[in-house]
Copies of this chain bind each other. A is one copy, B any other.
Amino acid sequence: MKTETIMVIDDDRDLRESIVEILEDNDFTVTGCDSAETALQKIKFQVPRLVIVDNMMPGMGGMVLIPLFKKDYPGIRIIMITAFSTVDNAVEAMKIGADDYLAKPFKRDELLVAVKRNLEELKFEEQLSESGMDETLSCLSNRIRRQVLAALSKKRKMRFMDITRHLGVSDHTKVNFHLKNLKVNNLISQDGEKVYSLTQHGAKMVDYLHLLSKKISP
C-alpha cells in the first residue's frame, strides 16, 4: 500500500524532528528539510502531496517559498506554521497560496487533524478533476445520446433501426456515430445478434441523470 508523502520544512531541529516522528508514527512517508533552499532541491526528486512549512526561517522564509512551490506544483497542499497567531498573519498566508495554517505552539493532535483534513480535501478536489469524468460527462452532455440511453433503459434491448426510428432521426449514420460514442464510453454494448443494450455502468448513469434532472429544473 502506498502511503501519503509529506515534506516538513523547519530550521528548528527539535520541532522538525518531533513533527516528522509524529507523522511517521501515523504511517506517512515524511521528508524533513532544514531550510527553504534544501526543500527546493529535494522536491525535484520527490513531489510530496502535502508540505508543512515554517513561516519564519533564516534565509528564504515560508512567505517566499510558498509561491514558488505553488507555481511549479499547483497540485500540492501547503500548511504554514506561524509563530504568532495573529489574524493578519493567517490571512496573509492564505493569500499567497497556503491552504491552512497552524499556530505555534500546537499539540500533536492539532497537527494530525490538520494534516488529515488537508489530505482529505486534496483527494476531494482531485476526484473532481479526474480524467474519467471528462469522457463520461461530455458523452452524457449530448441530447441524442441521452435519448438513446432513455430508450434503452425502457426497452432493454433494441436494434439499430429501432433506435433510429424511435428518435425520429432521418439520417441513420448520425445515430451510428452516437452509438459508437456510447460504446466507447462503455455505456451501451452490442451482443452477437447486433442488439444494443445498456451496460451496468450505463444503467447507473441513467439513474444519475434522473437525480440530476430533478436538481436542475425546479
Chain A residues at the B interface, C-beta cutoff of 8 Å: 70-71, 74-75, 95, 97, 121, 124-125, 127-134, 136-138, 140-143, 146-147, 149-151, 154, 162, 165-168, 204-206, 208-217
Residue in chain B with minimal CB distance to A162? B95
Residue in chain B with minimal CB distance to A121? B154
A125's partner among B95, B131, B154 (CB-CB below 8 A) is B154
**Cβ–Cβ contact B133 & A146, under 8 A:** yes
Q: How far is the CA of A147 from the CA of B138 in the complex (A)?
A: 16
Q: How far is the CA of A131 from the CA of B213 in the complex (A)?
A: 10
How many identical chains are in the complex? 2
User: How distant is A137 from chain B, measured CB to nearest CB, in Å?
Assistant: 4
Q: Which residues of B contact A162 (CB under 8 A)?
A: 95
**Cβ–Cβ contact B140 & A137, under 8 A:** yes
Report 22 cross-chain contacts, Cβ distance below 8 Å, ordered by A residue. A70-B166, A71-B168, A74-B165, A74-B167, A124-B154, A125-B154, A127-B214, A128-B149, A128-B150, A128-B206, A128-B213, A129-B143, A129-B147, A129-B150, A133-B143, A133-B209, A134-B143, A136-B212, A138-B138, A138-B141, A208-B211, A211-B211
Residue in chain B with minimal CB distance to A205? B215
Q: Which residues of B contact A149 (CB under 8 A)?
A: 128
Q: How far is the CA of A70 from the CA of B132 in the complex (A)?
A: 37
**Cβ–Cβ contact B216 & A133, under 8 A:** yes
Residue in chain B with minimal CB distance to A95? B162
Residue in chain B with minimal CB distance to A204? B215
**Cβ–Cβ contact B134 & A147, under 8 A:** no
Which of A75, A204, A212: most chain B CB closer than 10 A?
Answer: A212
Residue in chain B with minimal CB distance to A210? B127
List 6 A-B pairs, minimum CB-CB distance, nearest first.
Answer: A74-B168, A137-B141, A138-B141, A128-B150, A125-B150, A127-B213
Q: Which residues of B contact A208 (CB under 8 A)?
A: 211-212, 215
Q: Which residues of B contact A167 (CB under 8 A)?
A: 74
Residue in chain B with minimal CB distance to A146? B128
Which of A128, A131, A140, A166: most chain B CB closer than 10 A?
Answer: A128
